[in-house]
Structure 1
Amino acid sequence: MPPIADILFFVALLVAAGAVAGLLAGVFGIGGGAVLVPVFYQVFGYAGIPEEVIMHLAVGTSTALIVPTSIRSFQAHRKRGAVDMDLLKGWMIAVPLGALAATVVAAYVSSAGLRLFFAVMGLVLAARMLFLSNRMHLGTELPGQPARFLTGSAIGLFSGLMGVGGGVFNNTFMTLYGRPIHQAVATSSGVGVLISIPAFFGFIYAGWGEAGLPPFSTGYVNWIAFAVIFPIAMLVTPYGAQLAHRLNKRQLELGFAVFLLFVSARFFWSLYGG
């Protein structure tokens, strides 16, 4: 068993991650999963959880936490009237369908495969934030069907595989078609709700009865990690929504891009560095 000081250190790390994830849920509408997944990966690895299930557990637990944080973020943004409800209503089937497909894929993909996907997508998203933010536009109106349905399904699929709330993908989609960043962020919180609820149940089903899971786990969701982070994330998420309407978005994008580069490098090192 690890020394008590190490246990307390990792609990403190989870607490800090919960605060950051909650703020990011409000600021970017991303659900905080991009922060939580790598933190869970480190903590679960230290706890001696088998390599075969560690990344699945990190993604599944992150998805469980996105459910309440995205709902709370959505409520805060909707009160401000910033959410594109028409887009969300049009994605009521497409986005959850993609999220459920992600849990099916995850059930057959190795832990290394999930890490590789997270690392590659992290690089792609970081590059977009660093070099293409607000500089590339594909039009002034969102595409019609079936392109919009396929886009929603892809957002649900990619987000589900990464354990994120879909904000980074939806923000990109909406801003490419000329929508204001604040509207994109607010709408992304609703996309997080559409992704996280079906993915949450999907990861429970996919991991049901899996060998090597730690105590207090239901499928690929660990309730100890959930219990540590949940109250903190719920407390700070509304403050993130307030900050989204005040802070310099470019500075926030750059900071998040650097974080994604660090996480991608960490996962690439775990795969090929030794």
Structure 2
Amino acid sequence: MDFLAGNLPTVLALVATGVFAGFLAGLLGVGGGIVIVPVLFFLFQGFGVSPESAMLIATATSLATIIPTSISSIRSHNKKGNVDFELLKRWGVFILVGVLLGSLLVTRVDGTWLTLLFGIIATLSALNMLFRTGKSALFNKLPGNIGQTTMGTSIGFFSSMVGIGGGTISVPLLTLYNYPAHKAVGTAAAIGLVISLPGALTMLALGTTPADAPVGTYGLINLIGFICIVPLTVLFAPLGAFVAAKLDANKLKKVFAVVLLVTGLRMLAQSLL
């Protein structure tokens, strides 16, 4: 109780993050990481953590929260036959290699570079949501072995470095190659587990806890954030989905894309200025 009383503002803010991320995930069908990372990044700075440390901890904590939510998502999509396990078998090793390389790099680089990278990915993702239609495939089919190896490794590498589950990168990339959208989303859930589990464990075991890290941080993962966020994302995602059924999903995604664009540009500015 003393611990809770002494850290109540932090705990309440992390609880609010879980509610917000879960609700948006259900409302818009977006991955939790693309919401959790920027929220934690700015939240931790509000509690006196440096921007460099805040980004490192936000990245690792986000990956940890994706583990249980991706398992739940895989089960849901698999029941509908939307997880392409053949693709996962072909890409799995290369995604894992990318994740391990990216995670190791996170434990050794300045957080400013991660902020810059997240800003770029968030901005591109927002522009994709705003201007690209679901039918805008540029290629008729996936590339050959070398191309798919590059795609899998890149998804693992960049996703682990910015704390996202892979859907933000893999879904638009797959649909670019005329891959069915529903299968892309379902398979992205499985890719999220391949990214988040080894990525989070690497950052927990090999990450050096920053001197200004918020209370409850081990390695680079804030365990209090993990405990507060995970159950609430699971709890509030169905509520978001229920609200989404009552509203215009396309308009909602456009609004979120604008918010994400502003967030991405703000993170780019903070890392460059």
For Structure 1 versus Structure 2, the TM-score category normalised by the shorter chain is: 0.7 to 0.9
Read off the aligned partner of 1:174 and give its amino acid letter: L
SS at match of 2:58: helix
Deviation at 1:73, TM superposition (A): 0.8
- The 1:115/1:195 distance shift into structure 2, 3 A limit, reads same
Worse overlay, 210-219 or 235-244: 235-244
Measured in 1, the distance between the counterparts of 2:123 and 2:11 equals 28
Read off the aligned partner of 1:67 and give its amino acid letter: I
The answer on whether the counterparts of 1:102 and 1:160 sit within 8 Å (CA) in structure 2 is: yes
Query: 1:255 is matched with which residue?
Result: 255
Query: 1:101 is matched with which residue?
Result: 101
The answer on whether the counterparts of 1:29 and 1:73 sit within 8 Å (CA) in structure 2 is: no
- What TM-score, normalized by structure 1, do the two folds share? 0.86
Query: Is 2:271 the partner of 1:271?
Result: yes
SS at match of 2:145: coil
Q: Percent identity?
A: 37
Query: 2:231 is matched with which residue?
Result: 231
SS at match of 1:93: helix
Measured in 2, the distance between the counterparts of 1:75 and 1:183 equals 14
Measured in 1, the distance between the counterparts of 2:147 and 2:237 equals 32
Query: Is 2:181 the partner of 1:178?
Result: no
Structure 2 spans left out of the alignment, 5+ residues: none
Aligned Cα root-mean-square deviation (Å): 2.9
Measured in 1, the distance between the counterparts of 2:138 and 2:72 equals 31
Query: 1:70 is matched with which residue?
Result: 70
Measured in 2, the distance between the counterparts of 1:241 and 1:92 equals 30
Query: 1:17 is matched with which residue?
Result: 17
Correspondence 1:1-274 to 2 at 5 A = 11-23=11-23, 25=25, 31-208=31-208, 210-237=210-237, 250-272=250-272
Read off the aligned partner of 2:115 and give its amino acid letter: R
- The 1:183/1:242 distance shift into structure 2, 3 A limit, reads farther
- What TM-score, normalized by structure 2, do the two folds share? 0.86
Deviation at 1:257, TM superposition (A): 1.8
Read off the aligned partner of 2:39 and give its amino acid letter: V
Measured in 1, the distance between the counterparts of 2:176 and 2:61 equals 31
Q: Residue by residue, what CA displacement relative to the aligned partner does 1:69-92 show, whole Å, maximum 9, x if unpaired?
A: 111111111111111121112122
- The 1:238/1:94 distance shift into structure 2, 3 A limit, reads farther
